[in-house]
Amino acid sequence: MEQLIIVVAVLPLLSALLIRLFATRLERGVARISVVITTLSFLLSVVLLGWSFTGDVPHILSLGNQISVLLFDPLSILLTAIILGISLIVHLYSVRYMAEEAGYGQFFVLLDLMTATLLFMVLAGDLITLVIAWYLVGVLLYFLLGQDTRSQTAYRFAFWTLITYRIGDIPLILAAALLYNAYDTWSLTIIFNEIMANPNAHMVLGMPLTQVVAALIGFAAFARSAQFLLHTWLPYTMDGPTPVSALMHAGIVNAGGFLINRFAPVFIHSGDVLNGIFVVGLITAIFGSLLMLTQNDIKKALGYSTMGQMGFMIMECGIGAFSLAIYHMFAHGVFKGTMFLSAGSVINNARQDDGIPKDELYTFAVEKQANKARQPWLLMAAITLAVPLVILVFAHLLIEQNYFQKQGAVVLLFFGWVTGAQLIFATYRMRTQNIWRLVGLSVLSLVVVVLGYVFISHAFDLYLYPDPEFRKQLYSAASINILRFDILVAITALIIVSGWIVTYYAEQHGYRRRQHTKRLWLNFYALISREFYVSDIYTRLTRILLGLSARLNVWLRWL
């Protein structure tokens, strides 16, 4: 049965080949080949996913020699189904969307090749297949983003993507080479088994090999998942076709989370690296969300929203919640894919009628007119702080009694609590006939979201990492000294609650600001509007490098 996975992975390649051969004869009909084969591949992957629930996994499938191996395990089969599901939607959407574009057949060839490459990436059972697929994703994405060969802008930003991806290839290749030298095999399964048996058997530059490899894998993931300082390509690649944006934001950009999950046995022995990953994810989540809020272009705002979400996904890996990152990847993929594919029609409809009802929510959120009548603030503050906490604690206790012994779980709860409290805090001053009904509905929606999130993520945990000891090890690896942890949580809570109090008093006394505070805000806004000058710095560095290249050519007389 597991042999079917080879068919699933090869089918998109077959589709690309058939389109290439019959493109001139079939013209626009080539899309039918692509859609039918992708549908078939997707259905097979769903059958395999169902079969994998029987627990008869993992399997290793050789394609002929030791460096072409596919790994059939819960992670690979789940991601195979997700990739094919998203790819199928993008295919269906593209049939009409791309119909007027030149290079229709070539677009479907590239789309099928990209699907196949992504499948080989998640199914790779050896380092060579993984490196090849990892590398090719960047190359294919470059050509997909540059589908409109008339547009210099599309190619300019496609190039940003390519170069960032190539930078991300460097640490992965180094990690693969180090692992091969240490274990004398390309097989991921053998390497992971040896690492589990004896994690500190090899040293590199005086450091344990596992830590060096984990750090390199982390860097590779950062480039692919647009983490801060390696993020500039993501919001700017909007000149590519919308289906490609959808595929990129819903699927390709998540590859960082996959890579960290694939190397989970290495990360178990690299706690410090996980802490570093958490910090990078946190910074990315904050900066991505901040930049998203200041955009006035819907697609760019979506781009920065993806950056923030990727930060959150990487952060989840950093606290040891590896399977949660995969669930996040899936949920975000579906959500963001839908948003991209519907962005065009939303803009089109909004040009005729914005369709926004001028109700209480509009008055509150858009016109920023809060309710003048106040509820007793102590009561509201108590509800704001206590209710989300009770819901979260209750939901988590339902699935695991000793949940709070994991630091990662506490971090997630903390984030859930802040978000939930923020929701209630933000809504209770809306102009409404019945404030208690509104608060009640907010709490109910929070209960539904939290319970859904907790139960589904727990199911992902059990499916992806069935060994409870392994799950425990992942959380322990990400843990830090308990005193430091408690101090950090207390400080963060203090900062957030202080922020709420400041906001509350500012609202009570109006938004009058002193001159110097105004200037500070203005400078801060300028900083954000220039996106922290990150792309400006890169552009300057690029010019310096190209200037050096040109000067060298002149000095050496072009020889």
Partner 1 sequence: MMADLILLLLVSIFIPLFPMSMVFNAIVDKITNCWIRILIFSIWPLTGLMILHFSSIRLPDWLTYLALGTSMLYALRILTLREVNQWTGFLATSLWSLLWLAVIENTSASLLYGYAISMSIPLVMLLQLSAGLEKRYGAAYTGLYGGLARSIPRFAGVLVTVVVAAIATPFFPTFFIMLDLVVATVSSAPLVAIMLLLIWLLWSWAGARLIQGLIVGRASEVDIDDLNTSTVSIFSLLLLVLAIYGIYLSGVIL
CA distance 162 to 430: 46
Contacts of 428 (CB under 8 A, 6+ apart): 375, 380, 383, 384, 435, 438, 439
Q: Which of 374, 378, 375, 397 is nearest to 386 (CA)?
A: 378
Give whichever of 78 and 119 is closer to partner 1, judged by the CB atom: 119
CA distance 537 to 141: 24
Closest distance between partner 1 and the C-beta of residue 128, in Å?
6
CA distance 122 to 477: 24
Establish how many alpha carbons lie within 13 A of residue 91's alpha carbon, considering only the half-sphere containing its beta carbon: 31
Contact between 146 and partner 1 by CB under 8 A: the answer reads yes
* Terminal C-alpha separation, the chain: 60
Contact between 185 and partner 1 by CB under 8 A: the answer reads no
The one-letter amino acid at 165: Y
Per-position b or e across 294-319, b if 16+ CB within 10 A of its CB: ebeebbbbbbbbbbbbbbbbbbbbbb
Site string for partner 1, 94-113 (x = CB under 8 A): --------xx----------
Contact between 548 and partner 1 by CB under 8 A: the answer reads yes
Tokens, residue 199: 């994690």
For partner 1, the binding residues in 48-67 under the rule CB under 8 A are 65, 67
Helix (H) or strand (E) holding 471, with range, is helix 468-478
Closest distance between partner 1 and the C-beta of residue 72, in Å?
22
Contact between 498 and partner 1 by CB under 8 A: the answer reads no
Contact between 382 and partner 1 by CB under 8 A: the answer reads no
Residue from 155, 157, 228, 415 in contact with partner 1 (CB under 8 A): 155
Closest distance between partner 1 and the C-beta of residue 191, in Å?
14
Contact between 4 and partner 1 by CB under 8 A: the answer reads no
Assess contact for 48 and 5: CB atoms under 8 A. yes
CA distance 277 to 264: 13
Quick one: which segment of 252-260, 417-425, 447-455, 551-559 binds partner 1 (CB under 8 A)? 551-559
Q: How many residues bind partner 1 (CB under 8 A)?
A: 46
Quick one: which segment of 141-149, 285-293, 412-420, 428-436 binds partner 1 (CB under 8 A)? 141-149
CA distance 411 to 277: 14
Contact between 485 and partner 1 by CB under 8 A: the answer reads no
CA distance 496 to 502: 10
Contact between 181 and partner 1 by CB under 8 A: the answer reads yes
Q: What DSSP letter does each residue of 527-559 carry, written as one string?
A: HHHTGGGHHHHHHHHHHHHHHHHHHHHHHTTT-
Closest distance between partner 1 and the C-beta of residue 154, in Å?
8
Site string for partner 1, 190-229 (x = CB under 8 A): --------------xx------------------------
Give whichever of 102 and 398 is closer to partner 1, judged by the CB atom: 102
Residue from 174, 298, 480, 489 in contact with partner 1 (CB under 8 A): 174
Give whichever of 139 and 399 is closer to partner 1, judged by the CB atom: 139
Give whichever of 213 and 477 is closer to partner 1, judged by the CB atom: 213
Residue from 9, 111, 116, 131 in contact with partner 1 (CB under 8 A): 131
DSSP designation for 375 = -
For partner 1, the binding residues in 526-545 under the rule CB under 8 A are 545
Closest distance between partner 1 and the C-beta of residue 259, in Å?
18
Closest distance between partner 1 and the C-beta of residue 85, in Å?
26
Instruction: Name the burial class of residue 538, with classes exposed (0-12), middle (13-18) and buried (19+) by CB atoms within 10 angstroms of its CB.
Output: middle
Residue from 128, 190, 426, 480 in contact with partner 1 (CB under 8 A): 128
Residue for token pair 């480039």: 223
Give whichever of 483 and 556 is closer to partner 1, judged by the CB atom: 556
Quick one: which segment of 176-184, 239-247, 386-394, 440-448 binds partner 1 (CB under 8 A)? 176-184
Assess contact for 279 and 260: CB atoms under 8 A. no
Closest distance between partner 1 and the C-beta of residue 547, in Å?
9
Residue from 1, 36, 177, 502 in contact with partner 1 (CB under 8 A): 177
- Its sign, for the CA torsion 302, 303, 305, 309, is positive
Distance of CA 27 to the CA centre of its chain: 36
DSSP designation for 61 = E
Closest distance between partner 1 and the C-beta of residue 176, in Å?
8
Give whichever of 59 and 166 is closer to partner 1, judged by the CB atom: 166
Quick one: which segment of 163-171, 328-336, 465-473, 475-483 binds partner 1 (CB under 8 A)? 163-171
Contact between 370 and partner 1 by CB under 8 A: the answer reads no
Give whichever of 148 and 360 is closer to partner 1, judged by the CB atom: 148
Give whichever of 181 and 539 is closer to partner 1, judged by the CB atom: 181
Contacts of 222 (CB under 8 A, 6+ apart): 168, 230, 256, 280, 314
Whole-Å CA distances, 184 to 3, 123, 187, 297 = 27, 21, 9, 51
Give whichever of 347 and 552 is closer to partner 1, judged by the CB atom: 552
Site residues (CB under 8 A) for partner 1?
Answer: 65, 67, 102-103, 128, 131-132, 135-136, 139, 142-143, 146, 149-152, 155-156, 159, 162-163, 166-167, 169-170, 173-174, 177-178, 180-182, 186, 204-205, 545-546, 548-550, 552-553, 556, 558-559
